[in-house]
Amino acid sequence: MKKNLLFIFALMLILPVFAADWVEIYEKMYLDDSSLSKYKDKYSSSFDTDKIYSIWEKSLNDGTEYWKNAEKIQGKKLWYKKTLWVVNCTKKEIAIKSSVYYDLKENVVDSYEQIYLVWQSVVPETLGELKYSYVCGGGIFNTQNNTIFSKSGNYIQSTNGTRIKVRSHR
């Protein structure tokens, strides 16, 4: 019996664990900090010189017109979507690489993948700037109170010293 427990414990230590580290950056919007990585695309030469990264976002259905339209198109209730964002820190641009929509049972309802990225400028005081600030500046710009936060372990801290415990979402 002890050998079995020891084997299970050893197996747990060596097997990789795949867990998202969702950080709330806005109401019902999360970024997976563990997914942040350098992005390389075979279709563009500027990827060699620019600082370009990708990160996954999870947006929960908040009942807005966007979600009502998406549910009407899909013909069913949606719970959330995950979007892979690509952020060009050098040019201050952002693009969507792919999106996946999920129903209330966490089944995939619809998804799409972009072959070529459609870049958009990061507009000040928008959710795009929130993502850009998180990816490129290592901080979060809160549009609700115009505060810039920096990450530190399980907390984010504003420039005025306010510390907020990071909330996670499964």
The pLDDT assigned to 8 comes to: 47
pLDDT along the chain (170 residues), means of 10: 47 52 90 91 66 95 96 96 96 96 96 93 92 81 47 51 48
Q: How far is CA 161 from each of CA 85, 125, 134, rounded to the nearest angstrom?
A: 29, 21, 18
**Domain regions of the chain by residue span:** 20-165
Question: Which helix or strand (DSSP H or E) is residue 132 part of?
Answer: helix 127-137
The pLDDT assigned to 160 comes to: 45
Which residue carries 């907020």 as its tokens? 164
Pairwise CA distance, residues 121 & 72, whole Å: 30
Could you tell me how many residues make up the chain? Answer: 170
Query: Is residue 103 a contact partner of residue 80, using CB atoms and an 8 Å limit?
Result: no
What is the pTM (predicted TM-score) of this model? 0.71
The pLDDT assigned to 137 comes to: 84
Query: Is residue 117 a contact partner of residue 95, using CB atoms and an 8 Å limit?
Result: yes
The pLDDT assigned to 11 comes to: 40
| Radius of gyration for the alpha carbons in the chain, expressed in angstroms and rounded | 19
The pLDDT assigned to 156 comes to: 52
Question: Which helix or strand (DSSP H or E) is residue 57 part of?
Answer: strand 52-60
The pLDDT assigned to 41 comes to: 75
The pLDDT assigned to 138 comes to: 61
CATH of 20-165, one of 3.40.50.10470, 2.40.128.710, 3.40.50.300, 3.30.450.20: 2.40.128.710
